[in-house]
Structures are given as C-alpha cells and as structure tokens.
Amino acid sequence: MKKDESTEQKILSAAKKVFVAKGMSGARMQDIADEAGINKALLHYYFRNKEMLFETIFLELSTDFFPRLKMIFDSDDTLFTKIEKFCTAYIDNILVNPYIPIFVLNEIHQRPQWFAEKVMKAGAPNMAKLAKQVREEVKAGRIRPIHPAQLIMNMLSMCIFPFVARPMLMNLMGMDDPIFRSLMEDRKTEIPRFIMSSIKL
Amino acid sequence: MKKDESTEQKILSAAKKVFVAKGMSGARMQDIADEAGINKALLHYYFRNKEMLFETIFLELSTDFFPRLKMIFDSDDTLFTKIEKFCTAYIDNILVNPYIPIFVLNEIHQRPQWFAEKVMKAGAPNMAKLAKQVREEVKAGRIRPIHPAQLIMNMLSMCIFPFVARPMLMNLMGMDDPIFRSLMEDRKTEIPRFIMSSIKL
DNA sequence: ACTTTTGTTAACCATTTGGTTAAACTGTAT
DNA sequence: ATACAGTTTAACCAAATGGTTAACAAAAGT
C-alpha cells in the first residue's frame, strides 16, 4: 500500500499485483482490498465488480504494450533493425515485470473470444507490414527462404517464452535468479544474432 | 463421459479435461463430477480432495512427458539428431493435446516451490549431457560459439511457445485453425533447419 | 443364505466469496 | 453553523463451493 496515491490508483496497483500473481480466478477481492489497505466495499464503489476491475487492469496492460510493438513494427527500419529493436525493447520491458506474460497469455487462453473482441480490435499491432518486409528480403535474395509467420513466431517465442517458463527452466537447468537475469540480458543481443545468423545468406 | 472405463479412469479423464481447460483455481469439483457423469461425493471417495486430484493429474502429465525428454536428451545421438528428434517428437505430441503446455506452465508459476520439490525431484531430465555436447561442438569448431543454455532455451521456446500463445498469435497474424495446424506441422522441420542454419559453421 | 466389503447417491454442512446496505465521516459551498 | 455531495467503513447477505454423512445398492466372501 503506497500512501501518497489516490484511492483509485491504490486500488489499481493492488489489483494489478494480485491479478498478475494469482490470475483472475485465483485472485480474491479481499486480497486486493488488503493489498490496497482499504475496505472491500470500496473496491465496489470504484469498480462495480471483479470483472470490471479485471478488465480495467487487462486493458491497461494491453494498451500499454501494443502501441510500443506497433511503433517498432510499423516503422521504416530495415528488417534487421526491427528485430534488434524489438528484442531489446521487449526483454528490457519484461525484465521489470517478469510475470506479466504468463498472466496475460493464461487469461487470453481462458477467454479467447473476449480477447479477440475487446482487446484485439482496439489497438492490436499489424504484422502485415513486417511480413511483407520478410517476403521482399527473401525475393531479393538477401535472406534465405522462410515463411514470414515462422520467422515472426521464432522471434516472439525466443523473447517471451523464457519468462513464461521461468520456474521450469530454472529448475531444469539449475539456474538461480542472478544467472537467469544475466542470461536474459545477454539474450537482448543473442537472439538477433541467432536469427540473423540463421537467415542471412 | 466414456461408458466402458472404470470409475477411477472416468474421474481421471474428466479431471484432466477440466483442470487443463480451467486451471486449478478455475476448475470446480462439480464440473469434474458432471464431466465424469458421477456424483460429486464419489470424487472424494476416490481422491480425498481437490488438491490430491490435482496432484494426481499433474504428476501423470509430468511423468508422461519427462521420460520422453530424458530418452532423447540422454541418448548417444549427435547434437543435430537430438534437436531434430526433440522438435518432431514434442510438436507431434503437443498437437494432440495443445492446451497442456499453458496449463502446466501456469500451474508451475502458481506453485514453483511445490513443483521443484514434488515434480522435479522425481524424474526430471538432466540437461547437463546436452549442454556438454554443445560445448564440445563449439570447442571442436563445428558450430559457432553459443552458450548451451541459450541454445537449449531457443529450441524449447520455438517448439513450445506457439502453443502457449496460440490465441494471441492467431489473432495477431490472422490465422485460423487449419493454417495454425499446418504451420505447426511445418515447424517440426523448420525449427531444426532454423537452428542448424544459425549455428553451423 | 447371509454377512462383509466396496461403490454410489441424495441431502446436508461450513466456509469462502462476490457483492450490498446503511450509517458515518470528510471536505466544501452556502 | 448547516446542508450537501463524495468517500469510507462495519455489518450483512446470498450464492457458490469444497467437503461430509448416512443410507442404500452391488459385489464378493463365507
């Protein structure tokens, strides 16, 4: 509970923390109230119910993230530059809030329809331009033939997955927190290198 | 509800289905009973409580999966063969039950301690041999320098992540189910090619 | 045949949980 | 001072939920 924020802000911070940690179905309104240091009824005063509080948080996370993607992918940079920028920006971002991806992906999995309608249609980035860029590089013979979707999935996978699977990977390969963090720092440059090394002719 | 199975089997199938779909905290004992076509009290007759039923399912999923990994990674195959075998085997497997990864990863995230103690210590595969193999290939100059952990994470990421992020990816890149499936089929060979193309000298 | 064990159910119980209500408090304009 | 709107709380409520009980049915011993 942070003292100097407005009540609404305290609620939002608390809700974000609890939802991200326990997921929609695991989060308790009482937990959120406690975390915010307020009465439970006050939650319902600011946000009608759990669903609306959840949507607010989820939308905030999405509208925070998507524009950044958009900016990178819709720019006039070269393919390589975009890959570099995305990996650095994304990993840097996630390192500050490492549990957001698993939370978001799990909730999307829980309500794919709702996500498609309420979140996606709002401000989803358009991958078409990036895909086109890949096709052109292939056609120009500057990179080896690859389906744009495969390349994009590879990049997203390598950037995001380690955070989603963090506890499993740490156990599997015997890492502790500092090692994990250091490996993730390295990945900001390692992934672009890995990708370019794979597709460059 | 399948008619010819034993009651215990009916419960296990139903529980697996419901847990995988809704997660531990989202699953309801009543849902599982309904899905199994039995009375709710019978669940508690066979499995003392929700926690034990959950652990049974989770352990079953793990002990089903880990030995397969182990077999591949501990074999005497070359690094390249192992990569090929893993990607094919894993994707083939997951295509049959595509929602298991997000379920498993989310539950691990929810209870990392429990996972480390109860699941990992049982029959987790050992990545050391594979890592050593990578280091040797690097030293022998047959592949370009790369940290074994990074290479392994890249492979796991590219194989698993698309299933974890399936609804998001489908929305983001405008795919439908057949397209997604076909892309995943392609990945069985595309990922090994991508990796080898990246590290081969 | 009958007794004992195993399997199954309907009804019930205690707790948790999301949500409501009515009263009290706080600041501000009159 | 007082009225008033917005804010906050304690107490409460109804539904959902995990779990139990006691009675009943079906097998399995004897």
Contacts of B74 in chain A (CB under 8 A): none
Give me the residue from B22, B105, B110 closest to A165, CB to CB: B105
- What value does the CA radius of gyration of chain B take, rounded to a whole number of Å? 20
B42: the nucleotide nearest its CA (via C1') is C8
Contact B115 A186 (CB under 8 A): no
Closest residue in B to A123 (Cα) is B172
Contact B26 A22 (CB under 8 A): no
Contact A186 B156 (CB under 8 A): no
Is there a contact between A156 and B169 (Cβ–Cβ < 8 Å)? Answer: yes
Write out chain B's pLDDT in tens, 201 residues. 334 479 999 999 999 999 999 999 999 999 999 999 999 999 999 999 999 999 999 999 988 888 888 999 999 999 999 999 999 999 999 999 999 999 999 999 999 999 999 999 888 888 999 999 999 999 999 999 999 999 999 999 999 999 999 999 999 999 999 999 999 999 999 999 999 999 999
Whether pLDDT at A66 is above 50? yes
CA–CA separation, B66 and A60 (whole Å): 38
Whether pLDDT at A109 is above 50? yes
Q: What is the mean pLDDT of residues A78-94?
A: 97
**pLDDT for B64:** 83
**pLDDT for B2:** 38
CA–CA separation, B24 and B20 (whole Å): 8
Closest residue in A to B131 (Cα) is A173
Chain C nucleotides reached by a protein CB under 7 Å: 7-11, 16-22
**pLDDT for B199:** 97
A157 contacts chain B (CB < 8 A): yes
CA–CA separation, A109 and B164 (whole Å): 8
Q: Which two structure tokens, joined as six digits, stand for B153? A: 């994470």
Q: pLDDT digits over A176-200, tens only?
A: 999 999 999 999 999 999 999 999 9
Contact A156 B167 (CB under 8 A): no
A153 contacts chain B (CB < 8 A): yes
Give me the residue from A116, A172, A194 closest to B171, CB to CB: A116
- Using pLDDT thresholds of 50, 70 and 90, give the confidence band for residue A48: very high
Q: What is the mean pLDDT of residues A58-75?
A: 90
**pLDDT for B1:** 38
B183 contacts chain A (CB < 8 A): yes
What proportion of chain A, given as a percentage, has pLDDT over 70?
A: 98
Cβ-count burial B174-199 (b if 16+ within 10 Å, e if not): ebeeeebeebbeebbebbbbbbeebb
**pLDDT for A121:** 87
More confident residue, A125 or B53: B53
Contact A173 B131 (CB under 8 A): yes
CA–CA separation, A107 and A152 (whole Å): 22
Distance from CA of A84 to the nearest CA of B (A): 16
**pLDDT for B126:** 87
Whether pLDDT at A1 is above 60? no
A190 contacts chain B (CB < 8 A): yes
Q: pLDDT digits over A133-152, tens only?
A: 999 999 999 999 999 999 99
Q: Which two structure tokens, joined as six digits, stand for B4? A: 């010819």
Closest residue in A to B128 (Cα) is A173
Give me the residue from B120, B150, B165 closest to A105, CB to CB: B165
- In sequence order, what DSSP letters do the residues of B130-198 get, joined into one string? HHHHHHHHHHTTSB----HHHHHHHHHHHHHHHHHSHHHHHHHTT--HHHHHHHHHHHHHHHHHHHHHH
**pLDDT for A2:** 36
**pLDDT for B198:** 98
Distance from CA of B196 to the nearest CA of A (A): 8
Q: For residue B81, what are the CA distances in angstroms to A12, B72, B130, B186?
A: 50, 9, 12, 17
Name B61's Cβ contacts closer than 8 Å, sequence gap at least 6.
Answer: B16, B100, B104
Mutate to test the interface with A, among B70, B109, B118, B183 (most CBs of A within 10 A): B109
**pLDDT for A5:** 73
A135 contacts chain B (CB < 8 A): no
Contacts of A74 in chain B (CB under 8 A): none
Q: Is any atom of nucleic acid chain C found less than 7 Å from the CB of residue A40?
A: yes
Q: pLDDT digits over A152-174, tens only?
A: 999 999 999 999 999 999 999 99
A132 contacts chain B (CB < 8 A): no
Q: How far apart are the first and last CA of chain B?
A: 54
B93 contacts chain A (CB < 8 A): no
CA–CA separation, A102 and A149 (whole Å): 22
Helices A177-199 and A79-96 cross at an angle (nearest 10°) of 170
